């Protein structure tokens, strides 16, 4: 019969390289989703992952390193979500979808004071996501200032996603699909500029 001590020893010995890194990241995302970034502690994450308290520091060095890794992963996931959407409105829908699907990443990605701004992985992932957003704006007809239009579109998607995650628009959205609700908002505010949704 295997004792708890033997099980923990087996669990610890099974972790190696990326396995431990992903285990700590997964535990961190659980904490952020429940308590926000302020609830993170490397020692607590080590306990949750069943490894020594020094193991997370080996991979991430410190708390900002861990949060930077989460943000970089989030931007990569956001870029993956956006890249095959053909119209700006659908990129906004995908943005909202990403926030709902990855709320812990979303909480960290836009908090520069928590991150290492010069981290190469973070910079590369942010550029991928930004490029995907810029592509949608470039397709808009008769836009005198593409950068300003991009900020307006991003503000709408990011603002709605944030209000949705913080339950500030729960009553307004009601039983409607949040993605469909966002499509309605985008159509209301940018009706003359936005191409039709995919499939129409």
- The domains of the chain, with CATH numbers, are 1-60 (1.10.10), 62-193 (1.10.357.10)
The confidence score (pLDDT) of residue 191 equals: 61
Angle value at C-alpha 77, between 75 and 82, nearest 5 degrees: 90
Q: What's the half-sphere exposure (Cβ side, CA atoms, 13 Å) at 160?
A: 24
How many helices (H) and strands (E) are present in the chain, helices listed first? 11, 0
Distance separating alpha carbons of residues 195 and 135, to the nearest angstrom: 13
Per-residue tokens: 30: 């659980």
From first CA to last CA, the distance across the chain in angstroms is 61
Give me the residue label for tokens 């095959």: 84
The confidence score (pLDDT) of residue 139 equals: 67
The confidence score (pLDDT) of residue 149 equals: 83
Distance separating alpha carbons of residues 183 and 197, to the nearest angstrom: 8
* DSSP string for residues in 16-65: -THHHHHHHHHHHHHHHHHH-GGG--HHHHHHHHTS-TTHHHHHHSSHHH
Identify the segments of the chain with pLDDT beneath 70: 1-18, 139, 191-200
The confidence score (pLDDT) of residue 49 equals: 80
The confidence score (pLDDT) of residue 189 equals: 76
Provide the angle, in degrees to the nearest 10, between the axes of the packed helices 88-101 and 120-138. 140
The confidence score (pLDDT) of residue 179 equals: 96
Sequence-distant (≥ 6) Cβ neighbours of residue 94 within 8 angstroms: 81, 82, 85
Structural element, H or E, at residue 6 = helix 4-14
Angle value at C-alpha 108, between 106 and 110, nearest 5 degrees: 80
pLDDT digits over 86-119, tens only? 788 899 999 999 999 999 999 999 999 999 999 9
The confidence score (pLDDT) of residue 128 equals: 95
């Amino acid at each position: 019969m295997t004792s708890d001590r033997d099980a923990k020893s087996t669990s610890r010995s099974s972790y190696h390289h990326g396995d431990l890194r992903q285990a700590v990241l997964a535990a961190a995302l659980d904490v952020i989703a429940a308590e926000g970034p302020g609830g993170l502690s490397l020692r607590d994450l080590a306990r949750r992952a069943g490894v020594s308290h020094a193991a997370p520091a080996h991979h991430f060095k410190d708390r900002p390193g861990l949060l930077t890794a989460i943000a970089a992963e989030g931007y990569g996931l956001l870029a993956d979500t956006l890249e095959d959407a053909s119209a700006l409105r659908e990129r906004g829908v995908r943005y909202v979808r990403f926030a709902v699907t990855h709320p812990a990443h979303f909480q960290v990605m836009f908090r520069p004071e928590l991150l290492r701004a010069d981290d190469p992985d973070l910079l590369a992932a942010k550029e991928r996501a930004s490029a995907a957003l810029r592509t949608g704006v470039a397709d808009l007809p008769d836009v005198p200032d593409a950068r300003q239009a991009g900020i307006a579109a991003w503000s709408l998607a990011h603002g709605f996603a944030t209000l949705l995650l913080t339950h500030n628009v729960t009553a307004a959205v009601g039983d409607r699909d949040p993605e469909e609700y966002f499509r309605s908002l985008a159509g209301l505010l940018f009706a003359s500029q936005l191409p039709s949704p995919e499939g129409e």
